[in-house]
A and B are shown apart, each in its own frame.
Chain A
Amino acid sequence: MTAAPITPVHPAPGYLAVSGAEVVFLLLGLVVLGAAVLCVTSRSVVRSALWLVLSLGGLAGCYLVLTAELVAVVQVLIYAGAVVVLLLFGLMFTRAPIGRSADVDTPNRPVAAVVGVAAAGLLAWLLVDAFRLSYLELPAAPTGTAEAIGAAVFRHYVLPFEVISVLLLAALIGALVLSRPDISTAEHR
């Protein structure tokens, strides 16, 4: 993997000089984060799924700001489209309570909160410490066009592409097998 030199062309502007892209990204980020927090603290499981959709959609917007178009589209298609639908189907099949329910969280909750804060804090602190002065020059032309990504995939990452296809096939077959009623309802309880 080749990398462009990281030396900045000109000194980075300060944090107080907020560019337009930064404002948009900030707003989208708030949406993403807010929806994620609501997703993980909601008492209703269905609402959790719906907040997740919002979060993932917002994230697609973030990708667009970062000029990664294909990733944004795929994010919407696959994540917000297929994955969340799968999750909703899963909730439906497992008779999840529709309205608010009391026992959505385990007693591990306070520990989880602490650990979550710790994880976020650690990562944030590391990243801030390392990339305080880094500046991302948003290119005028989007970098993540379908053409560019497709060329990259089929030229340089063909093997991983094929492997992932096989992985998808395996996952498909596995899911089918696991869902078969005569295998799942095991005689040896």
Chain B
Amino acid sequence: MHLLYPLTLSALLFGVGTYALLARRNAVLVLMGVELMLNAVNLDLVAFDVWLRDTLRSGQVFALFVITIAAAEVGVALAIVLAVFRLRATVAIDELTDLGEPDALAAERLTGVELAKGADVS
């Protein structure tokens, strides 16, 4: 088959994963986006491996390794998410703002119109 079939599928899948990474509020949903991105890469690896007829099967071996590492990563990430949930009772990533500047946060709460009118940020 034309190599472009798996490649374009992988590119599109990567884009979808990026969207999930940047748009979702729940931390677990963000992790799903990361999984999609990893899978897109896996597909690329396998496709190239088959195309190149690699005698060492490097692409497929790497794909296996990626799957393994992704599993480990999900385990640790979920442990962290659980810890955060225990501390903050929320896993919405836009509510985890302890490291932020209070001014910037307050300004963020103002709408753009209020800022344009020169509302005082204190």
Q: Show the binding face of A for B, using Cβ within 8 Å.
A: 1-4, 6, 12, 15, 19, 21-22, 25-26, 29, 32-33, 36-37, 39-40, 45, 48-49, 52, 55-56, 59, 62-63, 66-68, 70-71, 74-75, 78-79, 82-83, 86-87, 89-91, 93-96, 103-109, 111-113, 115-117, 119-121, 123-124, 127-128, 131-132, 134-136, 138-139, 143-144, 148-149, 152-153, 156-157, 160, 164, 167-168, 170-172, 174-176, 178-179, 181, 184-186, 189
Contacts and interface: CB of A to CB of B under 8 A. Distances in A.
Interface string B63-83: 111011111111110111111
A106 to B, nearest CB: 5
Given A52-B36, A143-B49, A184-B82, 14 more contacts: A22-B2, A40-B36, A63-B43, A71-B60, A90-B78, A104-B24, A105-B25, A116-B18, A124-B12, A127-B4, A144-B46, A171-B75, A175-B78, A181-B86
A160 B31 CA distance: 25
B32 A52 contact: yes
B7 interface: yes
B82 A94 contact: yes
